[in-house]
Structure 1
């Protein structure tokens, strides 16, 4: 059976995608839950929990669904992706991944790399290859796919206002080489020029020190007005939602923003680096 992307499965997290595809397969086959339960030999209540995303299918169920629908290992593969995603996403990052989907505004500062939601796949791949020693190619590919999925929030029907500040170090550091950097900068320019919800500023070396050197900070404001901060360093991160702490971190971000170039000056800086990387290709 060929399953076309549809519903929430088209732009869903791995677990949501698996649940949606299981339900889509049954719907396309014209079966009720009870009818499917009789054919594959599992309780209809169990199948219902799987379709609702409340329970992960067992390896046996995933294999039996693939056999019944003739989906060539689709459900077993999706189950593996869900398990890997859960294992590889640090606990401190789970809240951010969920909040990005519900945010009305995302403000972020990165001191050394391009912000995640603006990264191209070649840039992300190079970043993971060089910063994840010992990880095999399949593992890295899964991480890149997760990052690519997260970017979809900026292309949704109602995207959050995304305001990113990048230290010039992120432009100077040639992740993946000149051609990858050129493509990355072209992507940022395209996003700013075509998506009114995206704003990006560069904080240049010439403007001296700032209070966020050496780390990254994100402020996520949900559509109900609640705001929390996420501070990430080398191999750890922490969510902060205490009013006093969020206010303090907001002040630090405001100071960094005050030192950044304005929109037009930032675009000129991007184009300057783009020319340099294109000349080096």
Structure 2
């Protein structure tokens, strides 16, 4: 027996309104969750999480729901609003422009870059770094991050060039099993997506000009570029050509200190083996 929620139980947030609208459309069509799943070819457990507001739908599901219910793009639009609402104001420009980017270059000095993260890694990261936040808020933050990753699976994905500090591999976010899965995911992306390149900046290369923060450089399809600098709980977009050039130079210095592709793959395998051994010992 399927457990149905009352509309009044959903929070008055963009994600809650999206879940409410999707559930109402199904009820108006006089369908059960399993009946909808049979007709659309999606797992009923996935559709249930979407209707309960526990997970944002993928863009593909949102489009399919609009087609199925004849809602003229409403669900896709609500999804865009819900995703934007879960991103801090200072980060919304990056969210908007990622889909229009021809190239994304990024460096992160402490954790795995966002578009490379697995869902368990992201969840562990948010749970440990968002003290006092309730489970629903954390779940929506995770869903937003997962949703953003779809840009690398699009029909015309950008070139994605990530540099990550070795500290992101050394820091066991979520424990050995989650880290092993995370590293396998990165290796899989490097192997299977030609437009994804990942380099590791090892401890042995010493200091560099981007210690303690993260930097993203986005080049849009019209040739324009902007930079996004993020630190603890804050971030800023940089448009000035002079400032973007200066930040590009800093990223180039970091890249020159990083391991090349083959060396980076080797260090990923080194850490993967260590975490897999930790799994076996625990």
Q: Which has the larger radius of gyration?
A: 1
The residue that corresponds to 1:211 in the other structure is: 209
Q: Is the 8 A contact 2:201 2:257 kept in 1?
A: yes
Task: Give 3-state SS (helix, strand or coil) of 2:244's partner.
Answer: helix
Counterpart in the other structure of 1:250: 248
The 3 A distance-change label for structure 1 pair 272 and 95 is: same
1:217, distance to aligned residue in structure 2 (A): 0.1
Tell me which residue corresponds to 1:101. Answer: 99
Closer, same or farther: CA 157–188 of 1 in aligned 2, 3 Å: same
Contact 1:217/1:232 (<8 A) preserved: yes
Residue deviations 1:12-53 (CA, integer Å, cap 9, x gap):
399xx4x874564137xxxxxxxxxxxxxxxxxxxx795794
1:238, 1:258 → 2: CA distance? 25
User: Which residue of 222, 228, 231 maps to 2:229?
Assistant: 231
The residue aligned with 2:26 is none
Residue 177 of structure 1 corresponds to 175
Distance 2:214 2:185 in 1: 21
Q: 1:149 and 1:51, CA in 2 relative to 1: closer, same or farther beyond 3 A?
A: closer
- The TM-score, its normalising length taken from structure 1, stands at 0.75
User: What is the TM-score normalised by the length of structure 2?
Assistant: 0.75
- Residues 52, 255 of structure 1: alpha-carbon distance in 2 compared, 3 angstrom cutoff: closer
Q: Secondary structure at the match of 1:93?
A: helix
Deviation at 1:141?
Answer: 1.1
Aligned-partner Cα distance in 2 for 1:241–1:103:
15
Q: Matches of residues 54-93 of structure 1 in structure 2 within 5 Å?
A: 82=81, 85-93=83-91
Query: In the aligned structure 1, how far is the partner of 2:94 from the partner of 2:249?
Result: 20
Residue in 2 aligned with 1:119?
117
Query: In structure 2, do the counterparts of structure 1 residues 225 and 86 end up closer, same or farther at CA, with 3 Å as the change threshold?
Result: closer
Provide the C-alpha distance between the structure 1 equivalents of 2:86 and 2:194, rounded to a whole number of angstroms. 33
Q: Determine the structure 2 residue equivalent to 1:25.
A: 69
Residue of structure 1 equivalent to 2:128: 130
Matched with 1:12 is 59
Where 1:213 maps in the other structure, the secondary structure is coil
CA 1:11 to 1:5, structure 2 compared with 1: closer, same or farther past 3 Å? farther
User: Using the alignment, how far apart are the partners of 1:144 and 1:250 within structure 2?
Assistant: 29
- Relative to structure 1, the CA distance from residue 82 to residue 223 in structure 2 (aligned partners, 3 Å threshold; closer, same or farther) is closer
Structure 1 stretch 149-158 or stretch 269-278: which is displaced more?
149-158
CA contact (8 A) 1:20 1:51 kept: no
8 Å Cα contact 2:66-2:73 kept in structure 1: no
